[in-house]
Every structure is written in C-alpha cells, then in structure tokens.
Amino acid sequence: MNLAYKDVKQNLARFLLTAAGIGFLLMAAIGMIGVYRGIVEDALLVINKVGADLWIVQGERDGPFAESSSIASHIDQRAAGLTGVEKVRRFVQFSQQFAHEGKSLRASITGLDYPTDSGEWFALTNGRYIQSGHFEAIADAATGLSLGAKVRLGKDDFTIVGTTRGMVDPSGDGMVFVTINDATAIASTRTSEQVLLARAKTGTIATQGSVSQDSKIAAVLITLSPGASLETVRASAMRWGDVNVITQNEQRDLLLNKRLARLRTQILAFTGVLLVVTAIVVSLIIYTLTMEKRNQIALLKLIGARDSVIINMIAQEAALIGLSGFGLALIIANLLFPLFPRRVAMMPADLGTLFVFLALICALASWVGIAQAMKIRAQEVLS
C-alpha cells in the first residue's frame, strides 16, 4: 500500500493548491531566467547572424552595441584593400519613431550595404529581400508593419517588401532593414528650420543645396578570406590609428560582461530569492503535513511499521509536490510566455538546473519532515 498516494488522495484539494503555489513560484523563476536569456539572444542576434569576423568601429570605442560609434563612410574602401579581406560591409543601426496609419511606431532602423548585402543572413517569413537601392524595406512583425505597407521614414515613402519574425534589437524594438544609403538619409533628416539655423551658424550660402552632415556609419564589417589570419588583418587595420577593431567574440564579451552584467546579477539575485522562498514554502508544507499525521505515524510505529515506511511516505509526498509544481510551472510558462511583449527564452539547460535545485529543495524539506517524524513516539497514539 502506498501511504503517500493514499494521503494525497485523501487531501487532494490541499495537495493541488500546494502544487499550484509551488508551480507559480517556479514559473516566476523560469520567467526571470527566460527574460534574461531572451535579452541576451536579442542583444547577440545581429552579431551572431551577420557573419562578420571583424568589426571596425570608432577609435577608442567598443562598438555600436556597447556605446555610440561613428566612423568615416570611406573606411570600407580602406578595409577592402587589406590582404585577406573577402567582403566588406558598412553597418548602421539606430532607433527611429515614426507615424503609420495614425499610430506612433518605433523601430530599429538597420542599414544593409546593398547590393553587397541584401539581407540574406536573416530569414524571411513573407515577401522577398531588398532588390532596389532605394525605398524598399524589410520589417519585423514586432514593428506592426505588414507586407506591402507604405511607411514614411524621414522624408521618403518606403514599401515593405519582406517581413521577418524575432529580429529585434537589445531594447526589444523590431528591426526595419533598408539600404544603408536610405538609412543614412533617414538618420540625417532635418526640418527646414534646422537646415536654416545650421546654414546661418556655418555661414553657408543659402543657395547651396544642403548642409554638411556628420558620418552616420557605425561600423564596417569584415569577412575574411578562407585561411586568412584574423590577427594579421586586425593588426593592419589598427595601424591606421583612427579606428578600433573588435572580433566577433569580443563583441559578445562586451555585451554579456559589460552592458548586461548588472542585469544578469540582478536577475540571478531575484531568482535566488525566489528559490529560497520556494525552499521555505515546501519545507513548511512538508513539516505541517507531517505534524498533522502525528497520530497516524504513532499508530504505524505501534503496529511495528519500519522507519523506512514512514521515511518513504514523507519523501514521496515531497517528491510529488515538487514534480507536480514543476510540471504545472512548465505548462503555464509555455502557455503564458509567448504572449509576453519581450522574448522569454526557456533553455533546456536552465530548466534542468532549476529541476536539480527543486530536487535539492524537496530533499531538504523531506529531511525536515523525517526528522520530526522520527521524534514521534508510539505511545503518543494513546494520548
């Protein structure tokens, strides 16, 4: 006869409520870890997908994903002349707020160095890649723009020729891909008053067509030829003196250990608090269940039941509560998290680690209950 099963069946409502409480605590822990993982995935999305071996950025800066970076637009021509360089692309990315169909939308404008780069490094859900040098765009579903939509960016109208899903920047804003020339034009858009004031300040003659603009190129991406030495190409570019050259791994390290370091510490601390609360709750529940069964445990001892029978009953109850709570947490998380506005990434390794922690918590709670059960004497059944 399985005493744990009998006890759970007799107090099914209490068991379900207990499992639900544990499940929601675990779901919160899964969510906190998943939010961090999602932020990391979003932050590394472009770095991982774009396939650049080296990033040339502004001198003494750490690149566009760690801090602002602005380099001369002709740096790509210098880079193309280096031995061992197969492909060079200019890169720019900035946030832009714009109006569409009466709504105020926000997107991360990302420049593609067309025709070298039409965007084949990311997958489309609908439509096609950019096939024109101007006024075509690919939008992520997070922006709210659909295939075929006309949207005004800067002073020009763009047609959405393709859509993606999951292409967002570290802030969670959906990306809109345009050619890099269009991107720089959007970034440098000024009102008429700003142009007039700038001309007055610089003394530019009013008849001239425009006011000079600063470079808006954030970086130049280098793809090396097969067999080329990364360090040799990097050292050659560093000798220019006006730029910094960062490898793909260094970009990842800058994001994870500098930009996201505090966020990671905070989320891990909060998750640790949730696990401590879960441990306390499970321990208290097992302790209470054990104390409520003092007479039954005393009776079992009186009729000669072995200690292992009592120990198994308490341990199995703790395991049932833990497994039920973990299963419920997974079900709720899979139903609820896809509805969240930001990506919540549930990694199997994280879930496995959390399950190990839960097993340790249940073992600790069982030990508390078993320790109390072993103190109960058989004579107590007569009191």
**What's the average model confidence in pLDDT over 130-143?**
92
Q: How confident is residue 209, by pLDDT bands cut at 50, 70 and 90?
A: very low
Is the per-residue pLDDT at 297 higher than 90? Answer: no
Per-residue pLDDT reduced to its tens digit, 335-367: 999 998 888 999 999 999 999 988 998 888 888
What pLDDT was estimated at residue 176?
94
Is the per-residue pLDDT at 310 higher than 60? Answer: yes
Q: Return the top range by mean pLDDT from 62-66, 173-177, 249-253, 338-342.
A: 173-177
Q: What does the alpha-carbon distance between residue 381 and residue 383 come to, in Å, rounded to a whole number?
A: 6
What pLDDT was estimated at residue 122?
92
**What's the average model confidence in pLDDT over 158-177?**
91
**What pTM, to 2 d.p., does this model score?**
0.76
What pLDDT was estimated at residue 207?
45
**What's the average model confidence in pLDDT over 150-177?**
90
What pLDDT was estimated at residue 17?
87
Q: Which of 133, 136, 129 is nearest to 164 (CA)?
A: 129
Q: Which tokens go with 155? A: 């002073």
What pLDDT was estimated at residue 154?
85
Kindly report the average pLDDT of the chain as a whole number: 85
